Structure 1
């Protein structure tokens, strides 16, 4: 019986996942640990609106459990020593240098976490891979833990370990409902007793038929494959969107037509500025690396093309803005609505807005960026430049600048164009009769998310482009 759980990593996966486990398993003490003191302080803030992760409903779940059986702390060693089960939920970014740079996952934090578990655990500990990892990573974790196997900590019993893979399949923006009513929970492992221990935790609220049991390697690879297939659909529909624009077809009508085919289904057929987030690109590049490692060059090239098409779509949108604005955006103000990679999250990792904004800044544009959840410091980190009100060399100097603004109305003031890059629900309700007169004529609306009321925008005097509309 699992009584105590420790999760290493208080990020977008660890925090929400452990909050839901604590909420649904009140008899289990759940402790989330992280070395980032400011992040832990945010999780413990009395004001639940200041949680470091924004997810609809997360504040309510944390509010019910925090202080009862959900705890956030930087006391990593004590939490590991007290745990029956330890989740590894740390960052695994794409390597930026060395062997596999640009494709392989950087596993330094996984290794460091495994070593810390090996050093601090007492008695029998079930170690659960929660981070998205390349297939066969469990071998590394097992090797590190096996070196400590049999050691005795203080007056305790000898250390023993079981390693499981339990990848997350939640989508940011819907993480809480995804966790509370998952399509499936996947548990991979070699120790049947350990598998059933973790299954019993999820069994408090997940029907048994949705708890899938596999071997370790199938579980690890399933996560990469699921994300690759979803991203593939997005790149596919975006390629069709470009064809629709060239031929006069409407990508939304095409998507609806093919989505009614039960063999295809309607999900992930929404044309837009491409996929973003912490997983899709990282996991596909990891798959590319793995295919290459095992000599599967054609397969590697296939999956690489999914990423290449995604990058092309973002560059295409930026280029289209330049073309429609008389071939230059130098000195022109462009309102950008949305910076998060998708609605209902404050996560900007690999957000399409980053590349599109960088392209426009390179062309000398003056960007006024509004997002309801992304702060200016995060935008600055992603764009690798500080905000400025105006270029130092004058409006036609060719220097691109950006600033974060507080409202869409402030963003469009004297703007030549408005570009929608995140599908926040409020953007579907924009008052074009109010916004359009604030812009410099002739003014454009570029709707990369197919969310705006185009008829109202046209009636207000705007020229309009929508992704995938000929």
Structure 2
């Protein structure tokens, strides 16, 4: 029996829900697409006529919103009405790591998933296909099913409703999310109902070739997402561990990565060293994997994946120690410029950004930070650092120790050092000769993203340190 889908609803207007639904609306003009969220300010931002105020920054997103919003794409806080008129409901809400209780520090907190499932159970009309889109632990579908199917009990004298549950995790890289959605490497759909699976397949077939659509059971789909993120994070930790060895031995991490990446069995992707991985998923998903492995008594497997996180944290602490050492063993009351606060270029997302931990470490050492990021505002920076400060029971007065710079010159003026943490393209065009004249001597540049070419520094008297470059041993002036 074919299932006709005319209206879809997405619960959650964040980094996944907003862009995903915008692409679906653009590619499926026949569908009515509604994105709902309890956060009125967020929905107001999605509806703002000024497209620069969208809550999510992604290249290409503004154009999609401009084409579709108000036509077949809508943003609303009316969850009840939106669910009631929808044939398919996506759950795309946050699944943060639990801070307390059973599994604290590792397991995902499913309170928003549960709340969404209860809303669907209460407000859905007729048959509804429910699609897990959030990054979730294996067996979450059981939670959703239990809530949905238990709601059907005692409905003998009420309008009938029924549900099927699918898992279709997102595989998006922030900064390239729109292209990842339009040209996906694969679309994964897990479930038990062939009719419901085909209904979702028929949506994607409007722009995705069918050979890229993978159909699995629901548990394989859920585990595939966790595993994909764990493997990617593992590659980053692996190359970062080698970057430290390069610095000690005189090797060049970019040359090592190129040589290794040309092996077809390994490939070149995710072999660029840096200050560590960030974003909303990598750390959370590995912690989830660790928790699940422990739950099933696979302690050796849990320990293996835990080491990926340890290397990531170690890399950030290592960078802090190098900076302090180069600045005569102390950064107290020294001004340090921070170039980039987002966890990667082309996004305004700061969740789990390496910059948070590194900046926090420098603040603990007594530094004053001047921060420039083209897409991250002061309040977001302040909130991120305050959250970590409070979580670690530190008493730093964040707002007294940081300020945002509006230009490279303002950031450099009087700085003892500049630290490059995000690979924004505009950082490649900085006039370092001009910058060197504004800094306090001996001026240090710490390049953690392989942004700068030391051959282009001309007459500057800057000291350069580049992550993963053995030439650090003899480049001091």
TM-score, normalised to structure 1, is 0.96
CA distance in 1, matches of 2:266, 2:385: 37
Paired residues for 1:437-456 under 5 Å: 437-456=437-456
The alignment status of 1:112 with 2:120, answered yes or no, reads: no
**What is the alpha-carbon distance in structure 1 between the residues aligned to residue 369 and residue 290 of structure 2?**
35
Among candidates 362, 365, 370, match of residue 363 of structure 1: 365
- Aligned mates of 1:283, 1:457 — CA distance in 2: 41
Are 1:183 and 1:210, in contact at CA under 8 Å, matched by a contact in 2? yes
Is the 1:365–1:400 contact (alpha carbons within 8 Å) kept by the matching residues of 2? no
- Residues paired across the two proteins, number: 459
Cα distance between partner residues in 1 of 2:295 and 2:413: 52
Q: CA deviation at 1:222?
A: 0.2
2:380 maps to what in 1?
378
105, 110, 125: which one aligns with 2:128: 125
1:458 to 1:295, Cα distance in 2 relative to 1, 3 A: farther
Displacement, 1:155?
Answer: 7.5
Among 225, 247, 250, the residue aligned to 2:249: 247
Q: CA-to-partner distance for each residue in 1:426-460, whole Å, 9 max, x for gaps?
A: 00111111111000011000000001232233641
Which blocks of at least 5 consecutive residues in structure 2 are unaligned? 389-396, 471-477
Partner residue of 1:137?
140
* Cα gap change, 1:19 to 1:151, in 2 (>3 Å): farther
How far is 1:20 from its partner? Answer: 0.2
User: In the alignment, which residue of structure 2 is the partner of 1:407?
Assistant: 407
1:25 aligns with: 28
Deviation at 1:15, TM superposition (A): 0.2
The equivalent of 1:209 in structure 2 is: 211
Partners of 2:203 and 2:231 in 1: CA distance: 29
Q: Aligned runs of 1:83-94 on 2, under 5 Å?
A: 83-94=86-97
Question: What is residue 219 of structure 1 aligned with on the other side?
Answer: 221
Query: 457-466 or 428-437: which moved more?
Result: 457-466
Deviations along 1:25-55, one digit per CA (max 9) or x if unpaired, are 0000000000100000000000111100000
What is the aligned partner in structure 1 of residue 393 from structure 2? none
Distance 1:384 1:145 in 2: 39
Q: Distance in 2 between matches of 1:154 and 1:111?
A: 26
Give the equivalent residue in structure 2 for 1:352.
354
Shift, 1:149, TM fit:
2.5
Contact conserved, 1:436 with 1:457, CA < 8 A, in 2?
A: no
In the TM superposition, residue 153 of structure 1 has moved relative to its aligned partner by: 11
Q: Quick one: structure 1 residues 153 and 453, their matched pair in 2 at CA, closer, same or farther if it must change by over 3 Å?
A: farther
After superposition, what is the alpha-carbon deviation per residue over 1:324-366, rounded to whole angstroms, capped at 9, x for unaligned?
0011001110000000000000000000000000000000001
Which whole-Å CA distance do the structure 1 matches of 2:400 and 2:361 have between them?
10
Tell me how large the CA RMSD over aligned residues is.
1.7
Residue 318 of structure 1 aligns to a residue in which SS? helix
Secondary structure of 2:366 counterpart:
coil
Q: Distance in 2 between matches of 1:117 and 1:231?
A: 34
Check the 8 A contact 1:340/1:347 in 2, yes or no: yes
Q: In structure 1, what is the Cα distance between the partners aligned to 2:157 and 2:238?
A: 58
Q: Is the 8 A contact 2:433 2:458 kept in 1?
A: no
